[in-house]
Amino acid sequence: MDLASPVTSLPGVGPIMAKKLSKLGLSSIFDLLYHLPFRYEDRSQISSLFTVQPGETVTIIGKIESIKNEFTRSRKLIQKAVVSDDSGPIDIVWFNQTFLTRTLRVGDIIGLHGKVDFFGPKKSIISPDYEQTTNNPALIHMGRIVPIYPETAGVSSKWLRAKIFPLLGHLDNIPPFDPNSLRHIHFPESLDQVAPAHRRLAFDELFLLQLTSLIHKQSWHQIKLTHPFHIDQAKILQFVSSLPFTLTPSQNQSLKEILADLSLPHPMNRLLEGDVGSGKTVVATIAAYSTHLNGFQTLILAPTQILASQHYITLKSLFEPLGINVDIITSSHKAIQQASHVIVGTHALLNKSFNRIGLVVIDEQHRFGVTQRTLAASKGESPHILTMTATPIPRTVALSLYGDLDLSVLTDPPQGRLKVKTWVVPETKRAAAYEWIKSLITDRQSQAFIVCPFIEESESVKSVKAATVEFKKLKETFAKNRLGLLHGKLKAKEKDEVINKFRAGELDILVTTPVVEVGLDIPNATLMVIEAAERFGLAQLHQLRGRVGRSSDQSYCLLFSDSDTQRLKALETHHSGIELAEIDLRLRGPGQIYGTAQHGTPQLKIAAYTDLSLIEKAKKEAKEIFPDLDQYPLLHKLTQKDKIALVQPN
């Protein structure tokens, strides 16, 4: 057995227990050791029974004088014991734990931890935690500071302690990990030992993450392409100049980086990061064009049908004049010509096979799980991969998180964009706000989104119902205007229909659930109204607001809310995703990154994304030992696993 061994290699841990442990993300011995306590209980003081008082929580060690099952007057089964130490006896009471009369025997010396109270007239310790000392070289749960762990059904802190404690005795030889920091974090002799141990373990976590990235990157670079792309500069320039706008400097820069990658003899693996509305789609489009010029197909994967349809429309309008076929695959658009040059789709396209895929674009990549991304990347023969995200992760953090990806960032919005004027609006001003919206619609032909209360994480029957009810109400309020309703339970055709109407200016107001959050691009819409804004994270609000402000007209965002306004007001003054990310990070705590309630983004268990100096340090050290891992067989094993031991995609 070593640290990379599965938990089932521990005595007494079978498949059933392994399944329970997997709920905590614990599959190896290593995982178990890095399952850290979130608090401690000081049980180091052993009290003398003579001195204990009702109301106190105490730890004692004594001898069992008697133990038996008894019925109370209300016919409840209890276990009653008398335990004594040098200073005298005390009663112990447990409720309905008949096995205790079989496991605990008269004469046993046991440790007990629990609350002293009156049971009837007598001073007793009620339902204490217990530990037998017979055959135990050392007490684990008593007479020390004990760890309290994140638990799940069937996996208690006591169970975890009993398994982790003996492991800590066998850690002498696990370079480059430090056995003492593990001992100190699980069973500190004093609480002063905890913080330095935690820092060291955070380092280990980041170090392993960095190392795994280096390994992935290396193996990626070892793939040889049989047909490296030729980049036809002239044709690409011609295409770029045919676009209805000029590219921003950072679009040009990213494009340069991407085209350089495409001309290499190994596949590209690049992340294009850019705030909402920064214009990622067109960059991907040019990469698809270059792929086509080399005789290969491009797959573009989008997280929602709405977004897939939109990309389909955009790409078609740009590509059709050049004789490039664009097709779409979603669960409801199934007809597909194998010969298409560019294929847009939702996850439904992951079930299809293709012949000549040269480039896979994954839009809003944080919306996809690891397996979906891997599946997408396996289409065709080692295609180039371009992933895109609007999740605004600071550059250093992005590099450490996605260390195996190359990174391009769109830093400047397209020219002439105005900041979206944003206000938090209390209920008392709702009527006035509605009048103002009406006047914008009549005077300036503005179009508005009204996003209904967010009810659950994913769209459910409940949120659809809420949207439908709200829609009826709004139809009365905005009786003179044209309203449409959009939610995820509509048929694909109905969705397309309502969005197309809105896009064509045939609707003034689109009432919707938060399905519009991702990627929707309707530049004429300049008004975003969000109901019950306090229910959204800043990340989502920023994404939703990003649906407007996509033309040179002034756009507005109204956040209806009567609570949590302090937090919401951050949106009035901050317009950059990164700034909001940092605020969110402060408000939510360090391990979670902004906007990643979705799957796919690794959540750190120990380290904090804000700890840039530790991230840098881990990176430096990983680079120092890489690629020479022979002296560290454990590291070699841990980084071989598909799943990085410490980092769980949530």
- 118 sits in which H/E element: strand 109-119
Half-sphere exposure in the Cβ direction for 308 (13 Å, CA): 26
Antiparallel, parallel or unpaired: β 122-132 and 109-119? antiparallel
> What are the backbone angles phi and psi of residue 571, rounded to the nearest 5°?
-75, -20
Distance between the two ends of the chain, CA-based, in angstroms? Answer: 28
Q: Which residues ranging from 412 to 451 are in contact with ligand ADP (CB under 6 A)?
A: 414
Nearest residue to 264 via CA among 235, 223, 292, 305? 223
| Residue 535 neighbours by CB under 8 Å, 6+ apart | 453, 454, 455
Least distance from C-beta 250 to Mg ion, angstroms? Answer: 15
From ligand ADP, Mg ion, none, interface partner of 248 (C-beta below 5 to 8 A by class): ligand ADP
Give 282 or 313: the residue with its C-beta nearer to ligand ADP.
Answer: 282
Give 280 or 567: the residue with its C-beta nearer to ligand ADP.
Answer: 280
Site string for ligand ADP, 94-133 (x = CB under 6 A): ----------------------------------------
Least distance from C-beta 456 to ligand ADP, angstroms? Answer: 25
Least distance from C-beta 363 to ligand ADP, angstroms? Answer: 7
Give 576 or 648: the residue with its C-beta nearer to Mg ion.
Answer: 576
**Per rule CB under 5 A, count of chain residues that contact Mg ion:** 1
Q: Which residues ranging from 472 to 531 are in contact with ligand ADP (CB under 6 A)?
A: 519, 521, 523
Q: Which residues ranging from 491 to 520 are in contact with Mg ion (CB under 5 A)?
A: 519
174-182, 276-284, 293-301, 462-470 -> range binding ligand ADP (CB under 6 A)? 276-284
Name the residue with the smallest CB distance to ligand ADP: 279
Give 300 or 614: the residue with its C-beta nearer to ligand ADP.
Answer: 300
Least distance from C-beta 614 to Mg ion, angstroms? Answer: 32
Partners of 228 in the β-ladder: none
Handedness of CA 325, 331, 335, 337 (dihedral sign): positive
Least distance from C-beta 247 to ligand ADP, angstroms? Answer: 5
Q: Which residues ranging from 355 to 414 are in contact with ligand ADP (CB under 6 A)?
A: 390, 414
From ligand ADP, Mg ion, none, interface partner of 276 (C-beta below 5 to 8 A by class): ligand ADP
Least distance from C-beta 129 to ligand ADP, angstroms? Answer: 54
- 183 sits in which H/E element: helix 179-186
Label residue 295 left, alpha or beta by phi (over 0 means left) and psi (-120 to 50 means alpha): left
> What are the backbone angles phi and psi of residue 276, rounded to the nearest 5°?
-55, 135
| Residue 36 neighbours by CB under 8 Å, 6+ apart | 149, 185, 186, 198, 201, 605, 606
From Mg ion, ligand ADP, none, interface partner of 372 (C-beta below 5 to 8 A by class): none
Choice from 59, 79, 157, 251 touching ligand ADP (CB under 6 A): 251
- Quote the Cα angle for 442-448-450, to 5°: 130
Q: Determine the residue type at 607.
A: A
**Which residues would be at the binding site for Mg ion (CB under 5 A)?**
519
**Which residues would be at the binding site for ligand ADP (CB under 6 A)?**
245, 247-248, 251, 274, 276-282, 390, 414, 519, 521, 523, 550
